[in-house]
Amino acid sequence: MQLPNENELFHVHTFRCKHAEEIPDEEYIKKALSLEKTGIWFTDHAPFPGNPFGHRMEMEELLEYLSALSELKEKYSGIIDVHIALETEYFPSFDKDGYYEYLLSDSRLEFLLLGQHMAADPKGGYTFNWDKERLDNEEYIALCDAVTGGLESGYFSIVAHPDRNYRRCKVWTPEMALKGNSIHSLSAKMDIPLEINMHSYGHKNQFWPQFWELKTEEEKTVFGLDIHAIAEIEERLEKKAKFETGRE
């Protein structure tokens, strides 16, 4: 798969996810052009059958999302590259039901971005049903295991914000490193890049340098802006520049 380059905006959401700015998709493209960018990668939060989760588009909006962005892709052909993708979690039960194959069967969709915001509980339900104590102690384990499962599934082309799995952790531990090593080794083995997320960067307990110190030479990384509003674009680009130059 073609990877985003340094002059493209990667990881952009739309109003359909219910927690992004209520503006037309085209406004992001116009902003990208004003910044002389050569490409933009839309990766809105994918819906699931039955709409069991919040903070994402509903299943009934999926075809409209693909259609609307396809029209913009055609409109701006030769001017800026418009890429169409979805960010979604990996759940074994939905894999068994053929959900990910269904998404990828639509030729308008270029790839799936693995963004594990929650995980399935093997005993039933999801991690967001856990009490605070269990979340604080065990959520990172469930999220990391779900990411490795997603990497092994073969459905995903990039992993979003992998170090955000540790968002409830306070101090880096050998146990956290063990889970991190599993993600890094699979990333290298499967040739699936990990995203250095500029929304996580600068947020306490969401960006973990210790996680990135585990990176192997064989691994690939991409920078993701995780945009939910026009005003965030230049802010995240500035954070990216600071990250690359080692400035805080």
Structure confidence by residue, pLDDT tens digits, 165-174 = 999 999 999 9
E strand or H helix at 25, and its extent?
helix 25-34
Radius of gyration, CA atoms only, the chain: 18
DSSP codes joined into one string, 140-194: HHHHHHHHHHHHHHT--SEE--GGGGGTT-SS--HHHHHHHHHHHHHHHHHT-PE
Q: Which contiguous run of DSSP H or E holds residue 93? A: helix 92-96
What confidence score (pLDDT) does residue 204 get? 87
Q: What is the pLDDT of residue 136?
A: 98
Q: What pLDDT digit, counting tens, does each position of 16-51 carry?
A: 999 999 999 999 999 999 999 999 999 999 999 999
Q: How is residue 110 written in tokens?
A: 């270029």
pLDDT tens digits, one per residue of 186-219: 999 999 999 999 999 988 899 999 999 999 999 9
- Tell whether the model's pLDDT for residue 183 goes beyond 90: yes
CA distance 188 to 50: 35
Q: What is the structure's pLDDT at 55?
A: 95
Beta strands 81-88 and 39-45 are parallel
Give the number of residues written for the chain: 248
Compute the average pLDDT of residues 82-90: 98
Q: What is the DSSP string of 197-247?
A: ETTTTTSTTTS-HHHHTT--TT--EEEE--BSSHHHHHHHHHHHHHHHHT-
Q: Residue 247 has what pLDDT?
A: 61
Report the first-to-last Cα separation within the chain, whole angstroms.
32
Q: Which residues are CB-contacts of 127 (< 8 A; sequence separation ≥ 6)?
A: 118, 119, 120, 121, 135, 139, 142, 143
- CA 204 to CA 89: how far, in whole Å? 23
pLDDT(248) > 60: no
The reported pLDDT for the residue numbered 174 is 98
Report all structural domains of the chain as residue ranges with CATH numbers, in order of start.
Answer: 8-245 (3.20.20.140)
Task: Report the C-alpha gap between 141 and 147 in whole angstroms.
Answer: 10
How far apart are alpha carbons 122 and 129 in whole angstroms?
13
Containing 105, the helix (H) or strand (E) segment is none
Which residue in the block uniquely carries the two structure tokens 């269990």?
A: 134
**pLDDT tens for each residue of 138-152:** 999 999 999 999 999
pLDDT score, position 202: 87
Torsional sign, CA 55, 61, 64, 70:
positive
CA 219 to chain centre: 17
Euclidean distance between CA atoms 239 and 201, whole angstroms: 8
pLDDT digits (tens, 9 = 90+) for 68-82: 999 999 999 999 999
Q: Read off the pLDDT of residues 112-122 as tens digits, 9 standing for 90 and up.
A: 999 999 999 98
